[in-house]
């Protein structure tokens, strides 16, 4: 019971409850204007629902469940391709760019796959998020980290010009065709895998998905799962970004 009241006292929940109370008051005090409140109420209900663990689980699952963890036969891949994720830009405190969490975990997983199987090229793909940034491209930062993880420097190929998933695939394809590689092990976050697979398949590759950072793995029922949570809202936003991205890529003819 104590943990329940602690959860209810969290600012994100309190703000949602305050808005809910305000809407109830408006519905009770302004019966003649209820039609005007419908749109506002629907928007609030969607905001509440889209900030819950229950909806986040379904939203991420719609992307992740198509590529179950650990079921792909990665041994048959001729090369491992790891896509860049987040980076920290240089600033007054950080003198050079650094890999963010998503880039780091993808590199860690790619290095593990490399060490489990036979020797083969590892392609790190990703340019600077902002062209005006100082320092190395993300792919070069990834290469340095992969080498620290024990991958031989001569086995790491970098593609440092791409700025989105489509360019990751198109520019990496040129490097791999030169080496007559047609089957790849693709490493990226699980929720990003569907769009990435479509992009590389459109370039003519046989793709073996090797996702990491699965989040829609288990749902535990409970009242907390239906209370608004900022982390859940972020997960729903990530899923929406992927689905909208695939729609945009489809309209552009990239997938």
Confidence of residue 196 (pLDDT cuts 50, 70, 90): very high
Report the pLDDT value the prediction gives residue 156, as an integer from 0 to 100: 98
Structure tokens at 62: 């719609």
Name residue, tokens 């689905």: 243
Q: Which neighbouring-strand residues pair with 80?
A: 122, 185
> What distances in angstroms separate CA 176 from CA 14, 100, 115, 185, one per listed residue?
53, 26, 21, 12
Confidence of residue 224 (pLDDT cuts 50, 70, 90): confident
Q: Which of 25-39, 106-120, 184-198, 217-231 has the lowest mean pLDDT?
A: 25-39
Domain(s) of CATH 3.40.50.620: residues in the chain: 74-212
Non-local (6+) Cβ contacts of 246 within 8 A are 194, 195, 198, 255
Contact indicator for 55, 232 with CB cutoff of 8 Å: yes
Contact indicator for 115, 152 with CB cutoff of 8 Å: no
Dump pLDDT digits (tens) for 106-163.
999 999 999 998 899 999 999 987 666 667 899 999 999 999 999 999 999 999 999 9
Non-local (6+) Cβ contacts of 198 within 8 A are 246, 249, 255
Could you tell me which CATH number the domain at 74-212 has?
3.40.50.620
Distance between CA atoms of 28 and 38, rounded to whole angstroms?
13
Distance between CA atoms of 191 and 162, rounded to whole angstroms?
20
DSSP code per residue over 33-64: GHHHHHHHHHHHHHHHHTTSHHHHHHHHHHHH
Distance between CA atoms of 1 and 250, rounded to whole angstroms?
49
Q: Is the dihedral of CA 129, 132, 138, 139 positive or negative?
A: positive
């Amino acid at each position: 019971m104590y943990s329940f009241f602690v959860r209810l006292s969290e600012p994100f929940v309190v703000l949602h409850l305050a808005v809910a109370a305000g809407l109830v008051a408006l519905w009770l005090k302004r019966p003649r204007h209820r039609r005007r409140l419908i749109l506002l109420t629907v928007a609030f209900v969607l905001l509440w629902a889209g900030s819950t663990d229950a909806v986040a689980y379904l939203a991420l699952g719609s992307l992740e469940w198509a590529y179950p963890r650990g079921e792909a036969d990665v041994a048959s891949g001729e090369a491992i391709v790891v896509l860049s994720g987040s980076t920290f830009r240089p600033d007054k405190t950080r003198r050079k760019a650094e890999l963010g969490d998503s880039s780091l975990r993808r590199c860690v997983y790619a290095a593990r796959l490399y060490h489990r199987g036979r020797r083969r090229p590892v392609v790190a793909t990703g340019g600077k998020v902002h062209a005006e940034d100082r320092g190395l491209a993300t792919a070069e930062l990834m290469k340095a980290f992969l080498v620290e993880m024990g991958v031989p420097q001569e086995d790491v190929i970098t593609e440092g010009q791409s700025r989105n998933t489509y360019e990751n695939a198109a520019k990496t394809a040129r490097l791999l065709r030169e080496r007559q590689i047609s089957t790849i092990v693709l490493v990226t976050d699980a929720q990003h895998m569907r769009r990435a697979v479509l992009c590389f398949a459109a370039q003519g590759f046989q793709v073996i998905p090797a996702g990491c950072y699965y989040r829609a793995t288990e749902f535990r029922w409970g009242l907390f799962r239906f209370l608004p949570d900022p982390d859940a809202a972020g997960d729903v936003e990530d899923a929406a970004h992927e689905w909208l991205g695939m729609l945009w890529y489809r309209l552009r003819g990239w997938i």
